Amino acid sequence: MYIFVKKFKWNFNSLLILFALSNCFTITLFGQEHDMQHMKGMATAQEIRKMRLTSIKPDSQAIGKWESVIPEIGGGAIGKSLGMQTVHTIMLPSGKLLLCSGSSWRNKGPLEYYPTFPDPTVGTGCFRKDEDPFNNIRISDYYQLVNNAAIYDPDSNTFFRIPAPYPSDDPDNPDHFEPNDFFCIGHMPLPDGNPFFAGGTQYYFPFRTGARTSYIFDWRKELTISWKKIDWRIDTATAGKLWMSAGLMKRGRWYPTFVPLLDGRFAIFSGFVGFQKGYPEMYQFEINHFVEFFDPNRFDRNHPENAWRSIDVKDIKGSPFATKLEFPKRLVIFVMKCPIFQSLALMHQLPVLCHHAIARLVPVALRIINTMHSNCIRITTCLHLIKYT
- pLDDT tens-digit readout, 122-141: 889 999 999 999 999 999 99
Q: What is the mean pLDDT of residues 89-116?
A: 92
Confidence of residue 64 (pLDDT cuts 50, 70, 90): confident
pLDDT digits (tens, 9 = 90+) for 335-374: 443 333 333 333 333 343 333 333 333 333 333 333 333 3
Residue 260 has pLDDT above 60, yes or no: yes
Amino acid at 40: K
* Residue 138 backbone phi and psi in degrees, to 5: -110, 10
Q: What is the mean pLDDT of residues 255-271?
A: 95
Residue 264 has pLDDT above 70, yes or no: yes
Nearest to 212 by CA among 229, 234, 197: 197
> What integer pLDDT is reported at residue 58 of this predicted model?
72
The neighbour count for residue 279, using CB atoms within 10 Å, is 13
Average pLDDT, the chain: 78
Q: What is the mean pLDDT of residues 98-115?
A: 90
Residue 117 has pLDDT above 90, yes or no: yes
- Residue 31 vs residues 12, 142, 196, 330, 378: alpha-carbon distances, Å: 6, 48, 39, 7, 11
Task: Give the integer Cα–Cα distance in Å for 271 and 222.
Answer: 30
CA angle (15, 20, 26) in 5-degree steps = 85
Min mean pLDDT across 73-77, 227-231, 284-288, 324-328 is at: 324-328
Confidence of residue 52 (pLDDT cuts 50, 70, 90): low
- Residue 112 vs residues 128, 189, 342: alpha-carbon distances, Å: 18, 40, 18
pLDDT digits (tens, 9 = 90+) for 172-211: 999 999 999 999 999 999 999 999 999 999 999 999 999 9
pTM for the whole structure: 0.72
CA 217 to chain centre: 18
Q: What is the mean pLDDT of residues 96-107?
A: 94
CA 277 to chain centre: 24
Task: Give the integer Cα–Cα distance in Å for 350 and 87.
Answer: 21
Confidence of residue 328 (pLDDT cuts 50, 70, 90): low
Q: What is the mean pLDDT of residues 86-114?
A: 93
> What integer pLDDT is reported at residue 156 of this predicted model?
94
> What integer pLDDT is reported at residue 327 of this predicted model?
61
**CB–CB of 129/203 below 8 Å?**
yes
Q: What is the mean pLDDT of residues 66-83?
A: 88
> What integer pLDDT is reported at residue 372 of this predicted model?
35
Q: What is the mean pLDDT of residues 92-107?
A: 95
CA angle (29, 209, 233) in 5-degree steps = 120
Q: Which residues have CB under 8 Å from 25's CB, separation 6+?
A: 335, 336, 337, 338, 341, 346, 349
